[in-house]
Copies of this chain bind each other. A is one copy, B any other.
Amino acid sequence: MEPFEKAASAIDTLYSRSPLPYGVTRILPTGTGDEKFWPSGFTLSGVNAGIKPQRKDLMLLLCERPSSTAAVFTTNLCCAAPVDLSKRHLAASSGLMRAIICNSGNANAATGAQGEADAARMAADTASAFGMRPEEVLVASTGVIGQRLPAEKIGAAIPSLKAASGSQKWRDAAEAIMTTDTFPKFFAVDVSLSGGPSRIAGFAKGSGMIRPDMATMLAFIGTDARIEPVLLQEHLAAANAVSFNAITVDGDTSTNDMAVVMSSGFGPSVERGTEDSRLFGDALRTVLTMLAQLIVVDGEGATKFVEIRIRGAANDEEAESAAMTVANSPLVKTAIHGEDANWGRIIAAVGRSGASFVQEELAVWFDGLPILKPGFDASFSEEEAKRVISQEAYTITVSLGQGPGEAVVWTCDLSKRYIEINGSYRS
């Protein structure tokens, strides 16, 4: 399958699993007539700057005017130079930004003072080409850690980036931030606000070193809504907690994680405490959730998408800890890969997660099929179980019988392909 077909097929699979919130409509980019899918006020571009051979590796997202911008960043102490720089620029501009410049193929992480200078140069070159202040530019990088960024190549490519730019170039942009991703990840929705329809579109990249903590890999979202930066940040933080922070591919939190949302203000306004604000939050969460799930579908070597749902925990924190422990367990992930109904590994992972429970009250379902009933009754049909776990996507639910705590995490299987990809990524 072509990468864009893969993307569309993955979106269809995920879309069929859960209904969108009331008032939110899916606007799936389908390959033709892109104009109608994207929020107005943005110009995008994706080109090859020579960091990687042939493939697009430089992305620009530009807003026509200073744009309310919110962002969340990695909590990894070894955070990359562009993360530090972007945090400073966002604060210096009080959340009113004009552009995001992003390269793939080199993370500009663990590069010290040289890395800081290179990230600053990316911002300065972009600012001078488009007539803005460097502080209005966010910088992001993704790729190999610990190698010097070829900032001169990036600077030299900015004229061609400008020449290739356009308001419909969201796909080019999504392609330009890919590393080991096998397809570009993008999604768009409409939401009906009192001032008229508003649009939110976004794109993201995975696909290894994925266990975001407070922020995520790279995700860039644009909306035409008119919304002040502080409220936008609140909506982003809330949506991020249940989307990018609820996925894991391999438990490794990246040094470069960043999710940014920019609002061009060409559309209807969103005021704090209104029904519009609630609807906008639902729509933003919908876009982030789809992007997050697409990252799991395209996790390195992944062949399965599995939702881990914990119920009945003492509280949400314990539920989250149990869900993440199950989702990261190599033994659970290899059993998922092998289509083995190995519920014992699931409850063993719950058992070491720190969540409290009484063994006899544990229950496990694969989709709607009871696998383990309380009192350790595991009298399920292997054939029916196989039918569920041979699907490309399914849900594992574990009930702890302790209280009202719940959590959902999305994960993938662990396959030989993951080893192949990561045994030789750097060289």
Q: Is the CB of B112 within 8 A of A252?
A: no
* Chain A residues numbered 368-427 whose CB sits less than 8 Å from any CB in chain B: 372, 375-376, 378, 414-416, 418-427
Q: Is the CB of B419 within 8 A of A356?
A: no
**Count of chain A residues with a beta carbon within 8 Å of a chain B beta carbon:** 68
In the bound complex, residues from chain B placing their C-beta under 8 Å from that of A349 are 252
In the bound complex, residues from chain B placing their C-beta under 8 Å from that of A113 are 375
Interface string of A323-339 (1 = CB under 8 A from B): 00000111100110110
Q: Tell me if A255 is interfacial: C-beta within 8 Å of chain B.
A: yes
Q: Tell me if A272 is interfacial: C-beta within 8 Å of chain B.
A: no
In the bound complex, residues from chain B placing their C-beta under 8 Å from that of A252 are 329-331, 345, 348-349, 352
Q: Tell me if A340 is interfacial: C-beta within 8 Å of chain B.
A: yes
Contact A342:B251 (CB < 8 A) given known A111-B376, A145-B348? no
Bound-state CA distance A352–B112 (Å) is 18
* Chain B: CB-nearest residue to A426: B342
Q: Is the CB of A250 within 8 A of B424?
A: no
Q: Is the CB of A357 within 8 A of B77?
A: yes
Q: Tell me if A241 is interfacial: C-beta within 8 Å of chain B.
A: no
Q: How far is the CB of A327 from chain B (nearest CB, A)?
A: 12
Q: Tell me if A164 is interfacial: C-beta within 8 Å of chain B.
A: no
Q: Is the CB of B359 within 8 A of A112?
A: yes
The residue that A423 contacts in the complex, of B75, B251, B335, with Cβ under 8 A, is: B335
* Chain B: CB-nearest residue to A360: B112
Q: Is the CB of A110 within 8 A of B255?
A: no
Contact A419:B414 (CB < 8 A) given known A112-B376, A255-B348? yes
Q: How far is the CB of A79 from chain B (nearest CB, A)?
A: 7
In the bound complex, residues from chain B placing their C-beta under 8 Å from that of A328 are 251
Q: Tell me if A47 is interfacial: C-beta within 8 Å of chain B.
A: no
Q: How many copies does the complex hold?
A: 2
Q: Tell me if A146 is interfacial: C-beta within 8 Å of chain B.
A: yes
Q: How far is the CB of A398 from chain B (nearest CB, A)?
A: 11
Q: Tell me if A209 is interfacial: C-beta within 8 Å of chain B.
A: yes
Q: Is the CB of A343 within 8 A of B78?
A: no
Q: Is the CB of A422 within 8 A of B331?
A: yes
* Chain B: CB-nearest residue to A208: B331
Q: How far is the CB of A255 from chain B (nearest CB, A)?
A: 5
* Chain B: CB-nearest residue to A114: B376
Contact A340:B420 (CB < 8 A) given known A78-B351, A348-B209? no
Q: Is the CB of B77 within 8 A of A351?
A: yes
Q: How far is the CB of A85 from chain B (nearest CB, A)?
A: 14
Q: Is the CB of A334 within 8 A of B422?
A: yes
Interface string of A187-209 (1 = CB under 8 A from B): 00000000000000000000011
Contact A422:B145 (CB < 8 A) given known A350-B78, A359-B110? no
Q: Is the CB of B344 within 8 A of A251?
A: no
In the bound complex, residues from chain B placing their C-beta under 8 Å from that of A378 are 110, 146
Q: A115-B376, A146-B376, A209-B348 are in contact. List 4 more A-B contacts (CB 8 A).
A: A79-B351, A251-B329, A253-B351, A335-B426
Question: Could you list 28 A-B pairs, sorted by A, with CB under 8 Å?
Answer: A76-B348, A76-B352, A78-B351, A109-B348, A110-B348, A110-B372, A111-B376, A113-B375, A114-B376, A115-B376, A145-B345, A145-B347, A146-B343, A146-B378, A209-B345, A209-B348, A250-B330, A251-B328, A251-B330, A252-B329, A252-B330, A253-B348, A330-B414, A338-B423, A340-B424, A340-B427, A342-B425, A342-B426
